[in-house]
Amino acid sequence: MRNDSKILLGLGLGALLPASAALAAETIKIGAPESISGDWAPYTAAHGLRCMAELVNEQGEYKIELDVKDSKSEPQLAIALAQQMLDEKVVAVSGTPASDSLIPIAQLAAGYGAITFSAMNTQVEMFATGLENFVTTAVPDPFNAAATAKVAYDKGARSVVLFVSDAAGTWTRALPGWFGEVFEKLGGKVIGTIEYPGFGITDWSPFISKLKAMNPAPDAIHISSVNPDVGVLIRQLRAAGLKTMVFGSDGFDDVTLASVAGGAANVDGTVFFAAHGYPTPGGALANFQAECAKRGYEINGAFFGLGGDVVKLLVGAAKAAGSTDPKAMLEAIYTKGPFEIVTAPTVSYDNPWHYPIKEVPVMGFKDGKPVLISATVPTDVPHFKK
C-alpha cells in the first residue's frame, strides 16, 4: 500500500475505490462564500474544505462539488454569493464566520431546504434565533469559556478581570462572562470588568492603567478578541511590569501571536486559549495537515482542520441518512452521531441546541510555541441546557 493510502485510511476515509465506482458516485454540492481576504482571512476554512474535498473525490464513493468564492469578509457580499449558490442547488452553503451574514444566509437557505454551515462560527446567536438548518464544527463560546476557566483555576488564578466589547456580539461580550461564571463556580472571583471599544486597538495603556490601579492586582484577565490586538495587549502589559496571566478564546489561535506579543518571555506559562484542534503526532488532524501540505495547501492552524471537518461531516451524514437530500442529511447530523472528524475523535449534535459536542483543546506556550495543556469535553457548560 502506498503511503498516500495509509494517510487516507488514518483519516478514516477508507480505501481508494476503482475508477468505475467513481462513475456512480453520489454528488454533494457545497457552496462556500469564504473569507479568503479581509478581516477574517486568518481564520478561513477554505483551504481545509478544498483539501478534504479533493481527498474524498479520490476515493470515489461520493463526489464533492465545491464552489469556493471570496466574500472578502463582507457580510453583504457573502449573502449575495450564497444566494447565487443556492440558486445553483447546493446542498449546503456557508458565509463569513459571524452571525451578521450567517443568520440571513440560513434564512435564505431554509427556503431551498438547504443546510447552512460554518466551520468556525461559535456564536450562540446562531442557535438561539430558532434556526433549524444550521451546523457548525466549532464548539460554541460557552464550551470554549468553560474549558479555559478550568485551566485558569488549575493554573492558580483566583481573581480575574474580564475585558468585554460589543465588537463581535456574544463572542466579545458574553464569552468572557461565561468564563467568569465557570471560574467563580470553581472557587475563583471576578473582581472587575473593563469595556474596550472594539478591534484595531494599538494603545491599550488606558485599560492597563485601570489594571495597575487595582489593589490587589488580578491574577488574570480574560479577553475574546483577535490578533494583532491581543498580541499588542500582552506586549504592553509586560512593558508595564504586569505578569498577569492572559486567557483568551479561539481568536488567539494565530501563528503570529507570540511574535506580536514580544516573544517567548511574554507568553510562556502566562498566556492560554481554547482552540479548535491540536495536531497530536500521528493523530487525524496531524495526518490531514501533513497530507494537505504535501499537496501544496496553506495550513492556517486548526481552522484548516475545521474546514476538513465540514466535508467529513457532510459525507458522514449522507452515509448515515442513505441519501444526499439535505433535509435527510441534517436529520442524520442531529440524531445519528457521533461522527468521525479530524479536529477531535468525534463530534455529536444530539442535544436540545444541536451544539457540536467534542473535545476542546486549551493551549499554552513553551519557548514561544503553542503547547497542549488539556483536551476535554467540558462539563457544567453555561447556556447549554434548555
Instruction: State the cell numbers at 248.
Output: 483568551
Residue 23 pLDDT exceeds 70: no
Using CA atoms, how far apart are residues 303 and 255, in angstroms rounded to an integer?
Answer: 12
Residues 6+ apart with CB under 8 A from 3: none
The whole-angstrom separation of Cα 119 and Cα 96 is 10
**The predicted structure's pLDDT at residue 18:** 44
In this predicted structure, the answer to whether residue 73 has a pLDDT above a threshold of 60 is yes
Which of 8-17, 78-87, 360-369 is the least confident region?
8-17
Res 336: pLDDT: 95
Contact (Cβ atoms closer than 8 angstroms) between residue 272 and residue 151: yes
Q: In what order do the strands lie in the sheet with 271-274?
A: 189-195, 159-164, 220-223, 245-248, 271-274, 360-366, 369-376
CA distance 73 to 34: 7
- Kindly state the greatest CA–CA separation across the chain: 73
Tens-digit pLDDT profile for residues 198-224: 999 999 999 999 999 999 999 999 999
Does residue 7 or residue 300 have the better pLDDT?
300
Q: Is the peptide bond before 216 cis (omega within 30 degrees of 0)?
A: yes
Most confidently predicted of 118-132, 296-310, 371-385: 296-310
- Radius of gyration of the chain from its Cα atoms, rounded to whole angstroms: 21
Q: How far is CA 160 from CA 114, 166, 181, 185, 245, in A?
A: 43, 20, 11, 13, 9
Pair 354, 116: CB distance under 8 Å: no
